[in-house]
Structure 1
Amino acid sequence: MTTRAFDPGQCPVGRTLERVGDVWSLMILRDAFHGLTRFDAFEKSLGVAPNILTKRLGALVESGFLERRPYQERPLRHEYVLTEMGRDFGPVLTALLAFGNRHLAKEGIASCLVDRQTGETAEPVLVDARSGKPIDGEAFAYGAGPVAGEAVLARLALIEGRRASAPLP
């Protein structure tokens, strides 16, 4: 069996998954959002093997999600801090939390987002910043961006063709 390397082309989903599309990377980012910064804290929280943690932290630094900063000189030790790009990933993790609680928490909700002032449970939704409309259902569709190449245009044409041939409700 031959395997082919994934080429995300211009796909923003594919490009993102190339950088954070494994469980350990997502869990490291989750813990970084909760304030963990040190290797031993990530290791303890995740129960991950040190070699895997080292590799994933390095990849997240290389991809620009985390920054490696020294916090001790003798011996030299580093902490891992979210960059601006890493902080921009927060809503993605919140969306995963909301999805997991809504569809996969068969035993009940173990972790949720709460309002710091009121303590009320939040119900995250993705909203268009321009119109304020929730992004769900049929109100929005994927479209070509200003630099869309042939592959993107072909994929969107395929999607539009399927949408046009679908029976109306």
Structure 2
Amino acid sequence: MQHVGEWWTLLILHDAFDGYTRFDQFQRNLDISTSMLTTRLKTLVADGLLERRPYQDKPVRYEYVLTERGRSLRPVIVALAAWGNLHLAPEERSMVLVDAASGEEVEPVLVDARTGRSLDDSEAFVFAAGPAASSAMRSRYAELGSGRRGGAGAE
């Protein structure tokens, strides 16, 4: 969440996925102050989500291009957009995800890559403490795990 937790960050990344790369493009499309945009772009570069590279020498001007790490956030943006659209009538949606070849609207879903099962089932798929979890996080999931079906997450 530290990388994408701010509203402007998500909007900038969304624009980057749509092909925007230049400061003035982001500013014009988002109607964001120059100081806020400068701050958010610096953070996105520092976090390794965007790369800043010159596209003009005199005067030097830069563009902001998604890195591999930044591109890996696309499913998150797609999932957030799908969630938003799920709660709107079709005529209220300002954007939809479509198949680039056919133009047909698609309905994104989150699935487990290994099994193909939908992750919508909050009882079948639960969070558990990971290898780098703090002791507080381990306690939290140990307590939660004891009440879950099959004790998932308790170790």
How far does residue 106 in structure 1 lie from its aligned partner after superposition? 8.8
- Deviation of 1:109 after TM superposition, in Å, equals 1.4
- State the alpha-carbon separation in 1 of the partners of residues 60 and 113 from structure 2: 44
Deviation at 1:22, TM superposition (A): 0.8
Structure 1 residues 48 and 105: CA distance shift in structure 2, 3 A: farther
Structure 1 33/153 Cα, relative in aligned 2: closer, same or farther at 3 Å? Answer: same
Q: Which one-letter code corresponds to 2:75 in the other structure?
A: P
1:89 aligns with one of 59, 64, 73: 73
Q: Calculate the TM-score normalised by the size of structure 2.
A: 0.89
In 1, Cα distance between equivalents of 2:138 and 2:85: 35
What pairs up with 1:5-154 in 2 under 5 angstroms?
A: 17-103=1-87, 108-137=92-121, 138-154=123-139
Note the alpha carbon deviations across 1:42-93, whole angstroms, 9 max, x for none.
0000000000000000000001100000000100000000001000000000
Distance 2:29 2:41 in 1: 14
The size of the alignment, in residue pairs, is: 148
Unpaired segments of 5 or more residues in structure 1?
A: 1-16, 165-169
Give me the whole-angstrom Cα distance separating, in 2, the residues matched to 1:106 and 1:22.
27
Deviation for aligned residue 1:108: 1.7
Give the distance between the partners of 2:140 and 2:89, measured in 1 at CA.
34
Secondary structure of 2:109's aligned partner: coil
Alpha-carbon distance in structure 2 between the residues aligned to 1:131 and 1:75: 53
Work out the CA distance in 1 between the residues paired with 2:89 and 2:144: 32
Give distance in 2, aligned partners of 1:117 and 1:107.
23
Identity of aligned residues (%): 52
Taking structure 1 as the reference length, what is the TM-score of the superposition?
0.82
